[in-house]
Amino acid sequence: MPRSSATSSIAAIVVLCLAALAGPASAQDTPHGTPGRFDFYVLSLSWSPSFCADAAERHAGRSVGTQCGTRPYAFVVHGLWPQYEKGFPENCQVPAPRIDHRLVASMLDLMPAPHLVFNEWDKHGTCSGLSPRAYFDTVRKARAAVKIPPQYRDLAQPLEVTPNAVADAFVKANPGLTPDGVAVACSRKRLSEVRLCLSKQMQFRDCPDVARRSCRSDQLVMPPLRGG
């Protein structure tokens, strides 16, 4: 091969490599993902009464932990998940760095089960590139960025809803959020979660790949808060 052709080929390869490095993160980076290399977050808010109803059915009415005791939890934080534009990393450090029990206890107002806090750190927090303290501080900032629609704050009776109506309520309550930045999940005809996409700077942003996976049921039920 002439020297000029060889030089051109090498230059083309370098350009392609640099373009790949500059592009969005992808699921092909490593088998599990590289800590800190992702595009945005998904804040997943779980409707606690649905979780408890499902758990009671699975466990034949036996106690399923403190979350499903007498305290009337409404939307609680399931997790804050690093995401790619398509797909997501998980379990980016195995074994995961351990987290202090005092840090776990400090998160129970938002994530009312210690095992949930541990699991979310292992699976998702390790992909954030943050220390445990910084990751859970970010969880708290993400939750503070979201306003719960008033009709869902103190639900005393079962409420029939549609996924679109719930998404629209969150869009209305949160300036900057669009229908392409939210997804509604369901389980056994119950609303289970609302998932909202946030930039690393805690600003709402669109995430079509997440939004298109919203529940497609025509009608869902939101069970009331405990004691409702």
- The answer to the question of residue 13 being in a domain is no
- The answer to the question of residue 80 being in a domain is yes
CA atoms of 115 and 79, how far apart (whole Å)? 12
Lowest pLDDT segment from 67-76, 125-134, 206-215? 67-76
Of 59, 78, 90, 115, the catalytic one is 78
- The answer to the question of residue 14 being in a domain is no
- The answer to the question of residue 6 being in a domain is no
Task: Copy the structure tokens of residue 192.
Answer: 């289970």
Domain ranges, residue 97 = 29-222
Confidence of residue 58 (pLDDT cuts 50, 70, 90): confident
Confidence of residue 21 (pLDDT cuts 50, 70, 90): very low
Task: Indicate if 120 belongs to the active site.
Answer: yes
- The answer to the question of residue 146 being in a domain is yes
Which CATH number fits the domain that encloses residue 197?
Answer: 3.90.730.10
- The answer to the question of residue 36 being in a domain is yes
CA atoms of 98 and 103, how far apart (whole Å)? 11
Number of domains forming the structure of the chain = 1
83 bridge partner residues? 40
Helical (H) or strand (E) element with 129? none
Of 59, 120, 160, 193, the catalytic one is 120
Question: What pLDDT is stored for residue 3 in this prediction?
Answer: 47
Of 90, 115, 124, 193, the catalytic one is 124
Residues with Cβ within 8 Å of 49's Cβ and at least 6 positions away in sequence, in order, are: 73, 74, 155, 222, 223, 224, 225, 226, 228
- The answer to the question of residue 132 being in a domain is yes
